[in-house]
Amino acid sequence: MAIILASQSPRRRQLLAQMGLGFQVVCPQTDEQMDPCAPPEEEVARICRKKALAVKPLIKREDIVIAADTIVVIGTQVLGKPRDSADAERMLRLLSGREHRVLTGLTVLQGEKIITQVETARIQFRPMEEAEIRAYVQTQEPLDKAGAYGIQGLGAVFVQSITGDYYSVMGLPVCRLSQILRQWGYPVL
C-alpha cells in the first residue's frame, strides 16, 4: 500500500512530509473549472473529489489517494489563483481590511471507500496600503495561490486574525486528514 498525493502543490507535499508520511505524487489531469452558480462549498468538494477519482485508475486498489482543492471566498465571490499581476492586485485590494473564508476540500480514497469533507477557516486582513500590495505582488508569491496570498509566506503580514485550521489555509487540513487516516487503520502517530 502506498499513499498517493494527487496534487502538484509544493505546500501539500511539505505538509504530508511534515506529518511523517511517505508518499508518491501523481498529478491528476482534470478540468478544475468551477460553476459560478453553485455554492462554493459544493464546488471545492466536487473538484477535489474529481482529482482523486482521476488518479484512481493509475494506482493499485490498496493505495490511499489524498486530493485537495483550496479557494478563497469573500462575500459571494470566489477567488481562485490570479490570472496575472493585475488580477492579484485586484484580489488583494478586495481582501484589504475585510474578513474572508478559505475553503479547502479534502478527498481521501482507497478502493471503493471515499470520503470528501470541506474545512472552512475565517481570515481577517488588516487594511493594506497600495504600495504594500504592489510590493507584495512584485515578489511573485501571490501568483500561484488562491486569493493571491500565501499565509505561510510574506502574505502572513496582512493576516490580522484566523479562526480555523491554519494548515487548511495552506492547502491541506492536516488534523482532519490524520483523523480520516486513523479511522481507516493508518494512524499518523
- Catalytic site residues? 69
Closest among 70, 79, 162 to 107, alpha carbons compared: 70
- Structural contact between residues 108 and 177, judged by C-beta atoms closer than 8 angstroms: yes
Angstrom CA distances, 54 to 24, 67, 146, stand at 15, 10, 22
Our measurement of the distance from residue 92's CA atom to the centroid of its chain's CA atoms, rounded to an integer in Å, reads 18
What distance in Å separates the CA atoms of residue 159 and residue 97, rounded to the nearest whole number? 10
- 146/111 Cα distance (integer angstroms): 30
Instruction: Quote the distance between the C-alpha of residue 77 and its chain's center.
Output: 17
- With a CB cutoff of 8 Å and minimum separation 6, the contacts of 25 are 4, 5, 7, 8, 13
Cα gap 63→47, rounded to integer Å:
20
What are φ and ψ of residue 83, in 5° steps? -70, -35
